[in-house]
Structure 1
Amino acid sequence: MNSDYEKRALINTDKLIWEKSKYENVFKKILAIKDNQETALIKLDNSSVLNKNSLINSVEIFVLEGIYVNEYGEFEKGTYLKLSKEDEAQVSSKNTCVIFRKTNHFSNNEQVIINTQKTNWLEGQGNLEVMPLSDQTALVKWPENERFLAHKHWGGEEIFVLSGTFMDEYGAYVKNTWLRSPHLSEHFPFVKEETIIFVKTGHI
């Protein structure tokens, strides 16, 4: 398990097998776990309840497929949620839902819910477009053949590739690839096709 935050981590999540949880029709692909913090993909099939006895201290979610349901409402593909608490006994889905989720990674009372499919992109550096989601978290859209300056990650960087292929001098990372780079790591990113990434910085 990717618990050493001082090392680079890379997973093509499409190559992982969905692991059954103890609850019916709930499956996980765990990407990293340390103490009570977890980063994972979770799949909720029909008639599933995520956890009947758990209250998460904090949760950060990006809905990848389907409709995610919790005590705050129903959220379609492309919705970002950052909640200081969530009652997992009220988490379910309509049909099949897949989410990227981080639990217990922050301790403030921040609550953010953004439907990224209905939110405008902002101009970023170079030809990039950016959609801020919360502190140090954003979607970044790379146009075809865009190259970025070589840079270091103060506090590290975490990326989940939502579409296209993200690239740097170390390799090419297709859709559904998860990357984590440690504090002061450095790379020179670029793309050949339009690519959208979910990115967090400074939290490692």
Structure 2
Amino acid sequence: MLINADFSLAAARAPEDYQWVNSPQNGVERVMLDRVGEEKARATSIVRYAPDSYFPPHLHPGGEEILVLSGTFSADDKDYPAGWYLRNPPKSGHKPYSREGAVIFVKLWQMSEDEDQQVAIDTQNKANWQPQGERQVCPLFSNDNEQVSLQRLNADKALFTTEIIGGAELLVTEGELIDAGQIYKRGSWIRLPVGAFPKLNAGAKGVTFYLKTGHLAQIESLDSKNF
């Protein structure tokens, strides 16, 4: 299965265009944003857990990255309400579930094999935020391959002021982003290729967004036989 699998091209999905499909587990649905492979895949998705739904215990050979968007996501008897960022390195495993229901942003099989850092950050905690110029930033993860953060930008401010060297991926979590009249509301996902220089600006009430940069420079070629 190939969905937005040409990483040299920009891709986007607005919440009004979500197409929910059932996962192999009852009560769990997902929106496939990009994907290379079948059930075992390099994948970026929005995943929705119905109340009292779960996945059996399983491993993630290529690692897993999660941002909890709403509700409460749980794993191995630990609860993570909306705003938590989780990063489970390659070969780690867990038993995920949700008692009340949850929506999460998930990236699978997108970490280097030598990554061994487990991360759990509450982005709702003000102590995890810091000013950087005209924006507020909550650092989430950084290594030689990628930089991940949650950022807040005031109204009408430009998101990027230079070319994106290693590509970028965004998910709007509050407010709006605007690009030449195109409005990206909460829940909008955008992937920008290496070398792009988009004219994205915060909307009239500002914007909060997940941002990953650098990672697309590592992708030279992907096809379904890799997974």
Q: For residues 30-179 of structure 1, what are the structure 2 equivalents within 5 Å? A: 30-35=32-37, 36-50=41-55, 52=56, 54-57=58-61, 58-71=63-76, 73-84=78-89, 85-88=91-94, 90-106=95-111, 107=113, 108-120=115-127, 121-125=129-133, 127-135=134-142, 136-148=147-159, 150-169=161-180, 171-179=182-190
Instruction: Summarize deviations over 1:105-125 as a string: whole Å, max 9, x none.
Output: 113101110011014321113
Q: CA shift at 1:53, angstroms?
A: 6.2
Q: Contact 1:151 / 1:188 at 8 angstroms: preserved in 2?
A: no
Matched residues, percent identical? 24
Aligned to 1:27: 29
Instruction: Summarize deviations over 1:123-147 as a string: whole Å, max 9, x none.
Output: 113x211111111000110112323
Q: Does residue 5 of structure 1 match 2:7? A: yes
Q: Which amino acid is the alignment partner of residue 58 of structure 2?
A: S
Q: Contact 1:61 / 1:100 at 8 angstroms: preserved in 2?
A: yes
Q: Partners of 2:200 and 2:98 in 1: how far apart?
A: 36
> Which one is further off, 55-64 or 9-18?
9-18
Q: Partners of 2:24 and 2:160 in 1: how far apart?
A: 46
Q: CA shift at 1:29, angstroms?
A: 0.5
Q: Which amino acid is the alignment partner of residue 130 of structure 1?
A: V
Q: CA shift at 1:22, angstroms?
A: 2.2
Q: Contact 2:51 / 2:99 at 8 angstroms: preserved in 1?
A: yes
Q: Which amino acid is the alignment partner of residue 186 of structure 1?
A: F
Q: Partners of 1:109 and 1:83 in 2: how far apart?
A: 8
Q: Which runs of 5+ in 2 are unaligned?
A: 217-227
Q: CA shift at 1:56, angstroms?
A: 1.1
Q: Which amino acid is the alignment partner of residue 197 of structure 1?
A: F
Q: Partners of 1:149 and 1:37 in 2: how far apart?
A: 27
| TM-score normalised per structure 1 | 0.91
Q: CA shift at 1:86, angstroms?
A: 4.4
Q: CA shift at 1:148, angstroms?
A: 4.8
Q: CA shift at 1:149, angstroms?
A: 5.3
Q: Partners of 1:93 and 1:45 in 2: how far apart?
A: 7
Q: Contact 1:164 / 1:193 at 8 angstroms: preserved in 2?
A: yes
Aligned length: 201
> Which one is further off, 116-125 or 55-64?
116-125
Q: Contact 1:71 / 1:87 at 8 angstroms: preserved in 2?
A: no
Q: CA shift at 1:170, angstroms?
A: 6.7
Q: Which amino acid is the alignment partner of residue 105 of structure 2?
A: F
| TM-score normalised per structure 2 | 0.83
